[in-house]
């Protein structure tokens, strides 16, 4: 009867540990990747550190409080010790902040000082090695994460150091069956936790890939129309709240249909990729924040997160037109010389919603096309 109770206690403890650890990993992975909560996005790392501190100190508190019931073997209540070991290691892989390493050092020293009865060199050495291992794992986590054997090896070494440290704190000899239960439970918890974290990572990468495809043009790699409308709405809402000005530039590749008809659609795709690359590089080199988009077949746009004068907008349009005009192609497409028609509209107090400025820039663009193309309409004023 007693053996059955021990086995039942062992199994239920392992299951409880697994449930708690998996729930904790799911929460931290959500915090690491969430794009829905503005609070989490803004304070992602501090939130991780605070939650990690609460979780680990809570486990240590449970271990300390349980020790009061058995003063002979501090920390040897494996159900908490294993969770501390696995928890510290997994959070070192997930949380990308140097502060988490400092937290581990403080936690390790505190754990040792609170429970030690007689200081032994082996315990201090084990603690130091454990902190060194966790520091290395944390620093090189992005590289090491791609190598399962290294992840498991690091966890095993860290576990050995921590258990040796805690064993040096014990006041009496522990029996063999205790160590069998300890290591079996630890290995089960470690494998389940590591594999679950890999599963969450794969799922997160898959979701990011889907999100990327939904917001980027497959041909050119630029942000697509969906991303354009979402970003435009967001920046316009910010303008209504803070009056931070922005400018919208939209342009169309002139006579693009002629290129498709003469050289074929593969050649047309080459042109689109070249124009996209030039537009992206142009936006990236500006002194202020700007994003480039492909909003239609041969139509592109840039959202300029800056207050510009009419003169600034005219210079910007001229430089962009020059950048596109300087594009060169090889082979049968060598004679191709591209021009664009540009419409530029700054946000104004009359723009009650994000579509207003888009409509204005679009109207300016088509005004240029109606007047011979190869030019720009800055706030309605046509410049060739």
pLDDT for the residue 182: 82
- Give CATH 3.30.70.270 domain extents, the chain: 225-383
Positive or negative, the CA dihedral 31, 37, 43, 47 is negative
Are 75 and 171 in contact by the 8 Å Cβ rule? The answer is no
Alpha-carbon gap, residue 5 to 256, rounded angstroms: 79
Half-sphere exposure of 44 (CA within 13 A, CB side): 17
- State how far the alpha carbon of 137 is from the alpha carbons of 54, 92, 141, 159, in Å: 21, 7, 5, 13
What pLDDT was estimated at residue 67? 67
pLDDT at residue 172, rounded to an integer: 65
Q: Distance (Å, rounded) from C-alpha 340 to C-alpha 199?
A: 47
CB 322 within 8 Å of CB 213: no
Collapsing DSSP states into helix, strand and coil, what is residue 383? strand
The CATH number of the structural domain formed by 225-383 is 3.30.70.270
Is residue 79 within 8 Å of residue 66, measured between CB atoms? no
- Point out which residues pair with 251 in neighbouring strands: 300, 342
Q: How far apart are CA 83 and CA 17, in angstroms?
A: 7
Q: What is the pLDDT of residue 169?
A: 81
Question: What strands lie across the sheet with 299-304, from one edge to the other?
Answer: 290-294, 299-304, 247-253, 340-346, 375-378, 381-383
What is the structure's pLDDT at 68?
Answer: 62
pLDDT per residue, tens digit, the chain (384 aa), is: 567 776 787 788 889 889 999 999 999 989 988 877 888 888 888 899 999 999 998 988 888 777 666 655 544 456 788 999 999 999 999 988 888 888 888 888 888 888 777 888 999 999 999 999 999 998 999 898 889 999 999 999 999 999 899 888 876 666 777 778 888 889 999 999 999 999 999 998 898 899 899 999 999 999 999 999 999 999 999 999 999 999 999 999 999 999 999 999 999 999 999 999 999 999 999 999 999 999 999 999 999 999 999 999 999 999 999 999 999 998 878 888 999 999 999 999 888 889 999 999 999 999 999 999 999 999 988 887
Q: What distance in Å separates the CA atoms of residue 220 and residue 293, rounded to the nearest whole number? A: 10
């Amino acid at each position: 009867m007693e053996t059955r109770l021990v086995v039942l206690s062992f199994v239920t403890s392992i299951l409880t540990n697994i449930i708690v650890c998996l729930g904790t990993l799911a929460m931290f992975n959500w915090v690491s990747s969430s794009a829905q909560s503005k609070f989490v996005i803004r304070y992602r790392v501090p939130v991780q550190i605070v939650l990690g501190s609460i979780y680990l100190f809570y486990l240590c508190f449970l271990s300390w409080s349980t020790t009061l019931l058995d003063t002979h073997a501090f920390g040897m209540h494996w159900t908490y010790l294993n969770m501390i070991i696995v928890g510290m290691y997994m959070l070192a892989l997930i949380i990308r902040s140097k502060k988490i390493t400092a937290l581990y050092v403080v936690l390790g020293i505190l754990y040792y000082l609170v429970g030690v009865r007689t200081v032994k060199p082996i315990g201090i050495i084990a603690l130091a090695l454990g902190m060194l291992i966790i520091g290395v794992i944390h620093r090189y986590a992005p590289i090491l994460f791609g190598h399962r054997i290294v992840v498991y090896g690091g966890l095993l070494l860290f576990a050995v150091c921590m258990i040796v440290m805690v064993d040096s704190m014990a006041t009496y000899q522990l029996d063999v069956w205790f160590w069998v239960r300890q290591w079996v439970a630890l290995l089960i918890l470690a494998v389940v936790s590591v594999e679950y974290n890999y599963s969450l990572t794969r799922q997160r990468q898959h979701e990011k890939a889907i999100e990327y495809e939904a917001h980027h043009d497959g041909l050119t790699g630029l942000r697509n129309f969906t991303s354009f409308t979402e970003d435009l709405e967001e920046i316009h809402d910010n303008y209504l709240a803070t009056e931070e000005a922005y400018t919208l530039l939209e342009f169309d590749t002139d006579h693009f249909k002629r290129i498709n008809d003469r050289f074929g659609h593969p050649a047309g795709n080459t042109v689109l990729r070249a124009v996209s690359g030039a537009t992206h590089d142009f936006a990236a080199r500006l002194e202020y924040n700007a994003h480039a988009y492909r909003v239609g077949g041969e139509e592109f746009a840039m959202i300029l997160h800056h207050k510009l004068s009419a003169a600034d907008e005219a210079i910007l349009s001229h430089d962009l037109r020059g950048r596109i005009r300087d594009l060169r192609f090889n082979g049968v497409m060598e004679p191709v010389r591209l021009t664009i028609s540009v419409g530029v509209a700054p946000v104004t107090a009359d723009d009650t919603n994000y579509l207003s400025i888009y409509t204005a820039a679009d109207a300016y663009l088509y005004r240029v096309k109606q007047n011979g193309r190869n030019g720009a309409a800055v706030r309605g004023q046509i410049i060739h």
